[in-house]
Structure 1
């Protein structure tokens, strides 16, 4: 599989640049990327800004896994707060990207991987229960992701989308960084360590943790840059300092940059959610 730290091109929904509510954010974002000479492109035919959710998962340089993007939060009118459904095939056809299709119901916010291991929350079991038993599902995940290891971790039901990318991220091939609010989740830590991964934690020394401090782990990473979402809150500086410690090469090369992101965070996602990153020739 293709980890974030090997990717060199970024895509965003064209809605980020065209909708008035997102234009100030996109101007700041594109300004940083242009200054760093990091290529980015806009995705056509998108119906919400959360490109990570509906775009395929890159397994290798020319292998893109396209899943069924039918998450429950788009099936109920009461849950359509993240916008209407984007049809992945339309976007990929417009870009000239050929995909390998799977019948698994999934969304990209529930996928975090290094080169050999993929981690998802157990929400994927619920979404595919009519077609696969848990064992069959895990076997299917190994097959589709061409992974050496598949790890399912508990789903925090307070996070209705069942996403993993605000819970933990890979620091490197061996180590996972877990957000502060999950530091006491012994089941999560045990599951990761049982599967041979080391764990580190973000810590926020504040009297009252902000409800959106999950967003710090939802950073945008490529081989050239890490963009850290900030919110103008007490945790900003603490998160930035700790993440700089865990990703020292980016910090040393001045490729570790904060970006105020309230304009998208208030809609339920942050920088990883709003981007699709790929490794291109």
Structure 2
């Protein structure tokens, strides 16, 4: 499995540059990535900015797994929802990227990975219940993504999308960082511990809690940099200091991006990016 800290190229939806709601964000990103000398590009034929969810998952230098992107939150009866569904095969054809197709139903935002382990919320069990029971689903995930460990954590029902990438991130193959509010939540901690993972927590000493504080773990990571959300609140500096402490190899390579434009729609930097090793 290609882990985030092995990737070297970043992609965003072209809509990030053209949708007036996200112009400030895209300008910051382009300026920052240019300053870092980072390699980035924009994806054609997309219907929304959440590239992480629909783009394939790279498991080695030459293999990209294209799962079935058919999330429940784009199946709603409300007018226009289906129009927001991106078809990854169309995007990949435009990129001339060959993929290996899988019948697994999932989102890339519910796929937090190291080189030998993947963490997903148990929403994936519900999504694939017609084709796989839980035991067979875990086996299928192991075989498809060529990893030894599959860790299922509880779906945080306050987050309708059921994604894991705002709940937990790998620091290295042996250690993860998760949110302070899971410190005493054993259903979350137990599966991580059973997988042999050490657990760190991101926490804040602030006068007033902020509902956006989950989003600091939704940072964008490549081999060469970490882009960390900020919101103009007192949490920002503390988040930066903690991420710098958790990832000492990135000292001087962490930059904060104002993500107020996207967070109100449910995601930030990991959500809007797709990273590859090229």
TM-score normalized by the length of structure 2: 0.97
SS at match of 2:172: coil
Sort the Cα spacing of 1:81 and 1:246 in 2 relative to 1 into closer, same or farther, 3 A. farther
**Any conservation in 1 of the 2:75–2:82 contact (CA below 8 Å)?**
no
**Any conservation in 2 of the 1:56–1:65 contact (CA below 8 Å)?**
yes
**Any conservation in 1 of the 2:75–2:81 contact (CA below 8 Å)?**
no
Displacement, 1:78?
4.1
Sort the Cα spacing of 1:82 and 1:267 in 2 relative to 1 into closer, same or farther, 3 A. farther
Q: 1:261 aligns with which of 259, 262, 268?
A: 259
Structure 1: distance between partners of 2:163 and 2:173: 21
* Aligned counterparts, 1:111-260, within 5 A: 111-251=111-251, 254-260=252-258
Structure 2: distance between partners of 1:106 and 1:126: 10
Instruction: After superposing the two structures, state which structure 1 stretch, 62-71 or 234-243, moved more.
Output: 234-243
Sort the Cα spacing of 1:212 and 1:142 in 2 relative to 1 into closer, same or farther, 3 A. same
Structure 2: 5+ residue stretches without partners: none
* Aligned counterparts, 1:13-92, within 5 A: 13-78=13-78, 84-92=84-92
Structure 2: distance between partners of 1:260 and 1:133: 41
1:82-130 CA-to-partner distances (Å, cap 9, x unmatched) read 9710000000011111101111110000000100111100000001111
SS at match of 1:47: coil
SS at match of 1:205: coil
1:145-176 CA-to-partner distances (Å, cap 9, x unmatched) read 11111111111111110000000000011000
Structure 1: distance between partners of 2:194 and 2:51: 32
Structure 1: distance between partners of 2:154 and 2:261: 29
Instruction: After superposing the two structures, state which structure 1 stretch, 235-244 or 108-117, moved more.
Output: 235-244
SS at match of 1:232: coil
* Count of paired positions: 278
Sort the Cα spacing of 1:186 and 1:128 in 2 relative to 1 into closer, same or farther, 3 A. same
Displacement, 1:188?
1.3
Q: 1:276 aligns with which of 261, 274, 277?
A: 274
Structure 1: distance between partners of 2:121 and 2:80: 21
Structure 2: distance between partners of 1:276 and 1:74: 20
**Any conservation in 1 of the 2:8–2:275 contact (CA below 8 Å)?**
yes
**Any conservation in 1 of the 2:154–2:188 contact (CA below 8 Å)?**
yes
Displacement, 1:81?
6.9
SS at match of 2:85: coil
**Any conservation in 2 of the 1:92–1:98 contact (CA below 8 Å)?**
yes
Moved runs in structure 1, 4+ residues, more than 6 A?
A: 79-83
**Any conservation in 2 of the 1:219–1:272 contact (CA below 8 Å)?**
yes
